[in-house]
């Protein structure tokens, strides 16, 4: 396995562990309850992640397959990729970001939302593995806020997006404790 693939898989796993920890900290009786009328519940957050990751897994898989068919070169660089990806921009919760309508949760219960996220994770990992050892910095797809991003950046984004929403879940718990 190429070191960059391993690095991204490790980052995805680390952010998922943070998300799971934050989700588990929300009392089960509150996981399906939005903390306010304009906010998502913990289950809604997880469902949102499942929707976005399922979509991105498919998009990235297609982009990588198309690039491979068109002669995508092998990755020649073994330098760490995460320092080149601006994950801080994604993790920064000081600016509220509105999800596109297609990413808004539909109301899955907490357990069903988590199961959907686990299925989406398979798609993301398969997409990443389909590009193992290839120059994924040349495979591009636009982000509505951040502009054109490489496949490497997208995989970093997916992980950081989970970290961002783990922080959101921690806020739910903190606000319940404070009230």
> Across the chain, what does the average pLDDT equal?
94
Give percent above pLDDT 90 in the chain: 82
Rounded to a whole number, what is the distance in angstroms from the first to the last CA of the chain? 49
Tallying the residues shown for the chain, one arrives at 179
Per residue in 143-165, pLDDT tens?
988 899 999 999 999 999 999 99
Nearest to 61 by CA among 130, 1, 112: 130
Regarding pTM above 0.85, the answer is: yes
Domain encompassing residue 16: 3-178
Model pLDDT, residue 164: 94
Tell me the C-alpha distance between 156 and 136, whole Å: 12
Question: What CATH number does residue 46 fall under?
Answer: 1.20.120.450
Model pLDDT, residue 171: 87
Q: Is the pLDDT of residue 123 over 80?
A: yes
Model pLDDT, residue 177: 55
Tell me the C-alpha distance between 41 and 168, whole Å: 10
Asked whether 12 and 81 are in contact (CB, 8 A), the reply is: no
Nearest to 41 by CA among 27, 53, 20: 27
Rounded mean pLDDT of 133-151? 95
Model pLDDT, residue 178: 55
Asked whether 46 and 40 are in contact (CB, 8 A), the reply is: no
Number of domains in the chain: 1
Rounded mean pLDDT of 71-76? 97
HEC sequence for the chain: CCHHHHHHHHHHHHHHHHHHHHHHHCCHHHCCCCCCCCCCCHHHHHHHHHHHHHHHHHHHHHHHHHHHHCCCCECCCCCCCHHHCCHHHHHCCCCCCCCCHHHCCCCCCHHHHHHHHHHHHHHHHHHHHHCCCECHHHCEEEECCCEEEEHHHHHHHHHHHHHHHHHHHHHHHHHHHHC
Q: Is the pLDDT of residue 47 over 90?
A: yes
Nearest to 115 by CA among 46, 63, 37: 46
Per residue in 3-21, pLDDT tens?
999 999 999 999 999 999 9
């Amino acid at each position: 396995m190429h070191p960059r693939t391993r690095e991204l898989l490790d980052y995805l796993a680390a952010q998922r562990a943070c998300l799971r920890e934050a989700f588990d900290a929300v009392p089960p009786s509150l996981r399906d309850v939005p903390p306010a009328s304009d906010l998502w519940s913990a289950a809604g957050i997880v469902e949102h992640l499942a929707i976005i990751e399922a979509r991105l897994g498919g998009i990235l898989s297609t982009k990588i397959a198309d690039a491979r068919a068109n002669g995508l070169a092998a990755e020649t660089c073994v330098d760490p990729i995460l320092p080149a990806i601006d994950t801080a921009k994604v993790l920064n919760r000081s600016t509220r970001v509105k999800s596109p309508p297609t990413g808004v949760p539909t109301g899955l219960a907490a357990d069903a939302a988590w199961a959907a996220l686990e299925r989406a994770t398979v798609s993301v990992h398969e997409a990443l593995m389909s590009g193992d050892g290839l120059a994924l910095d040349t495979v591009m797809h636009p982000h509505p806020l951040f502009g054109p991003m490489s496949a490497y950046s997208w995989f970093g984004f997916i992980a950081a997006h989970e970290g961002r929403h783990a922080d959101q879940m921690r806020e739910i718990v903190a606000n319940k404790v404070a009230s």
